[in-house]
Structure formats: C-alpha cells, structure tokens
Structure 1
Amino acid sequence: MKTKIIFLAVLLLGITTRMQAQEDRNHGIIWSSLHGLEYGLKAGINIGGTSPLPLPEEIRALTGYNPNLNFSIEGNATKWLGKAQKWGISLGLRIENKGMEANARTKNYSMEIIGDGGEHMSGNWTGRVKTKFSGSFFSIPVLAAYQLSNRVKLSAGPFFSFLLNRTFDGYVYDGYLRQGDPTGTKAEFMGDSTAPYDFSDDLRTFQWGIEAGATWNAFKRLTVHADLTWGLNDIFKKDFNTITFAMYPIYLNVGFGYAF
C-alpha cells in the first residue's frame, strides 16, 4: 500500500511539473507574440557550388558535377516592427556544410601540382581537372523580413560566415603542365597517370555575402523554406595567386522548420 502511495505521488508530481512547464511555455509564447517577437528552427540541405563568375576562358567546359549532401540547421528570432507588423528584423545562428565536386576541361589553367617525388610544380595546365570543395561554417544572417501574407514571409540581407573545417583539393589528368609559363618545360600526365593538388590551407576563414529567401507556413507550426546565399568575397586568401580568378560560393538552401 505504501509503495502504491509513493508511486501515485511521484506520478502526480510528474504530471504537475509537465503541466507547469507547458503553462510556462505557453506564457512565454504569448508574451513574445504580444511584443512582436517570433522564434523558429530550420533544417535544410545546401545545393550549389563554388565558381568563378563568369567562367574564365581557361575553363573550356564543365564535364561533371556532384552537389554532395550538405546539411544545415539554424535557429532564428524575428522582431516585427510597428502595429501592422509587416516589416521586421531577423537574426539567425546557423551551422552548415557547403561543398561540391566538379570535373572540367581546361587550357592554360594556372595550377600547382605535386609530382611523383613530392615536388611542387607550378605553371599552366591543359587537360582535365577534378576539384573537391567542402567546408563547415558557422553563419550569422542579419535579414530584413517582410510579412507578405499570413502564411508567407520574405527575407533578404547580408550574412557572415566563419569557416570551421575546409577542403579544396583534387587532381589533374589526361593533359600536360607547362612549367612556369605556356612555353615552359612540358610535364605530361596521360592514361592512368594523375597529379594531385591541395589548396585547403589557402581558403580564407571569413566570408560574407547576401541572402534572400521565402518561408511558407504549410501548417500552424510547420514551415517550408527556400533561401539563396551568394558569397561576395573570394573564397581564397588575398595573397593566393595560383588560381588567377576569384571564386564565389553560391548555394540554395531548401528545407523545413518549426515556428514557435
């Protein structure tokens, strides 16, 4: 009998605690709503690539592309302004991956490769190039928000990203390297012969750009979104001169979320 009483007391305490937590949560949501505050969680997939714009003449053709599987998760808060609450300011914190693999056919493409003996050779490459880029970022979007309707929200503004982990490498094949300049000594890599390269340490750790997107309330709390991020500074450090053109990360994030 005593055991049953203790069990019922513990059960009642658990139910009471849960009800109190739910009540506190509801009170917090109501308070936030009255003060024009809105919170959300988003999860999605980044699809895109890192590319020069426009494609330089050294890249004669893209012969392959793999967007890879790049996940992101974000928490954000929006402060709606004025009585109408049509306009607002949104601040987010996002952990995300961006990456891709690409194959290209090039001519006189500036390159530094690692030879069979571990030596570094630089010059102009004519032939095939396989590139892999992968990065983990901590990103902060600061956006202007507009409530288009009860179910659709638009947003746009800058984002700032800090690179946590990075890879930019690949290899060349089916071609030749003119060392130094287009008339230099010729080093061929034909058939199964390849030469790797690695520019991972030359990636800059801070990137920024613009972001624009739309969020649709599919249900009361469930949202669906699509956000385009466009980097505005070169992914490589300022003193990196091997690749002679700037490259920019351009990605579309699509996914779902939960609005509190």
Structure 2
Amino acid sequence: MIKRLCISLVAMLCVSYSLKAQEDRNKSIIQSALYGLEYEIKAGFNIGGASPLPLPEEIRALTGYSPNINLAIEGDIIKWLGKKKEWGIILGLRLETKGMEAEARTKNYSMEIFGDGGERLKGNWTGMVKTKFRSSYFSIPLLAAWKPNQRIRLSAGPYFSLKTSGDFSGHVFDGYLRENDPTGNKVKIEGESQAPYDFSKELRQTLWGVEAGITWRAFKHLNVNADLIWGLNDIFKKDFNTITFAMYPIYLNVGFGYSF
C-alpha cells in the first residue's frame, strides 16, 4: 500500500511539474507577444549555384547542372513596431550549405591543373570543365519586415556569412591546355584522360549580400517560406586570379517554419 501511494505521489508531482512548466512557457510567449516579439524556427533547402554575372565569353555553353541537396536551418527573432505591428525587424542565425555541380564547354579558360606526375600546369584551357562546389556557412540576416495582412509577411535586407568549410574542385577533359598563355606549349587531355584541379583553399572566409522573401502563414503556427539570397562579393579571395572573373552565390531557399 505504501509503495503504491509513493508511486502515485511521484506521478502526481511529475504531472504537476509538467503542467507548471507548460504554463510558464505559455506566459513567456504571451509576455513576448505583448512586447511585440515573435520567434520562428525554419528549415528548408537552397537551390542555385555560384555563377559569374554575366557569363564570360570563355564559357561557351553550360552542358550540365545539378543543384545537389543543400540544407538550411534558421532561428529568427522578430520585433514588431507600432500599434498595428505591420512593420518589424528580423534578426536571424542560419546554418546552411550552398553547393552545385556544373559542366561547361570552354575556350581559353584560365585554369591550373595537376599533371600526371602531380606537377601544377597553369595556362588557358579549351575543352570541357566539370566543377563541384560545396560550402557550409553560419549566416546572420538582418531584415526589414512588412505584413500587408495577417497571413502574408514580406522581408528584405542584408545578410553576412562566415564559412565553416568549403570545397571547390573538379577536373578537365576532352581538350587541351596552352601553358602560361594562349600561344604556349600545348598539353592535350583526350579520350578517357582527365586532369583534376582544386581551388578549395582559395575560397573566401566571409561573404555578404542581400535577401528578399515572402512568408505565408498556412496555419496558426505553421509558415511556408521562400527567400531569394543573392551574394554581392566573389566566393574567392581577392588575390586569387586563376579564375579571372568573380563568381557570386545566388540561391532560392524554400521551406517551412514554426512561429511561437
């Protein structure tokens, strides 16, 4: 009998503690709402790639492209302003990956490859180039928000990213390299032969750009999000000149969010 009473008492205490914790959470959310604060957790994926703008004449045709799977997880704090709370400020923290695979036919494309003996060969490549790009970032968006109605939210503003890991590599095939300049010694890579390249160490540590998006409140707490994220600086370091044009990360992020 005493044992049953103890078990019942423990169960009652657990239920009471759970209800009290839930009540405290509800009070915190209500209090935040009174101060115009809203919190959101988002998850989605990025579709896009790193691209020069406009395409340089060295790239004659894009013959293949794969966006790969690029996940993004984000937490936002939204501060609504004024009595109507139509305008607000969003501060977020996003953990994301950006990547792609692309294949192109090129002519006189500046390139540095590894030869059969591991030696570096630099010059102008004419032929096929296959590229793999994948990087992970911590990103901080700082956005202005506007609600035309209770279901739609529009947002726009800058973001800043810190690279945590990065890979930019690939290989060339079915063509030839003119060493040092367009009239230099001709190195052919034909048939089944390939020559790799790797510019991963030349990726820039910090990126910045702008983003603009729309959020639709599908249910009381569930949102559907779409954001265009446009990088405004080159993914490569300033002193890297093997690739002679800037490449900008341009991605569309789509996903879902939970507001509370």
TM-score range, shorter chain: over 0.9
1:152 paired residue number: 152
Q: Which runs of 4+ in 1 moved over 4 A?
A: none
* Per-residue Cα deviation, 1:38-87 (whole angstroms, up to 9, x for no partner): 00000001000000000000000000000000101000000011111111
* Per-residue Cα deviation, 1:146-190 (whole angstroms, up to 9, x for no partner): 012101101000000000010000000000000011100000000
* Per-residue Cα deviation, 1:87-123 (whole angstroms, up to 9, x for no partner): 1100000000000000000000000000000000000
In the TM superposition, what is the alpha-carbon distance from 1:2 to its structure 2 partner? 1.4
2:49 paired residue number: 49
Provide the aligned C-alpha RMSD in A: 0.5
In the TM superposition, what is the alpha-carbon distance from 1:238 to its structure 2 partner? 0.4
Output the CA distance in 2 between the equivalents of 1:130 and 1:2: 74
Output the CA distance in 2 between the equivalents of 1:59 and 1:35: 54
Output the CA distance in 1 between the equivalents of 2:236 and 2:9: 63
1:259 paired residue number: 259
Output the CA distance in 2 between the equivalents of 1:97 and 1:119: 32
- Between the aligned residues of both structures, percent identity stands at 66
Residues 163-174 of structure 1: pairs in structure 2 closer than 5 A:
163-174=163-174
Residues 244-255 of structure 1: pairs in structure 2 closer than 5 A:
244-255=244-255
**TM-score for the superposition, normalised by structure 1:** 0.99
1:184 is aligned to 2:165: no
1:208 is aligned to 2:219: no
Match of 1:159, SS?
Answer: strand
* Structure 2 unaligned blocks of 5 or more: none
2:39 paired residue number: 39
**TM-score for the superposition, normalised by structure 2:** 0.99
1:128 is aligned to 2:124: no
In the TM superposition, what is the alpha-carbon distance from 1:10 to its structure 2 partner? 1.1
- More divergent stretch after superposition (4-13 vs 125-134): 4-13
Match of 2:126, SS?
Answer: strand
2:74 paired residue number: 74
* Structure 1 unaligned blocks of 5 or more: none
Count matched residues: 260
* Per-residue Cα deviation, 1:18-51 (whole angstroms, up to 9, x for no partner): 1111111110111011110000000001000000
Match of 1:211, SS?
Answer: strand
Output the CA distance in 1 between the equivalents of 2:215 and 2:7: 47
Residues 77-88 of structure 1: pairs in structure 2 closer than 5 A:
77-88=77-88
Match of 2:54, SS?
Answer: coil
In the TM superposition, what is the alpha-carbon distance from 1:256 to its structure 2 partner? 0.4
1:11 paired residue number: 11
Q: What letter corresponds to residue 5 of structure 1 in structure 2?
A: L
In the TM superposition, what is the alpha-carbon distance from 1:255 to its structure 2 partner? 0.4
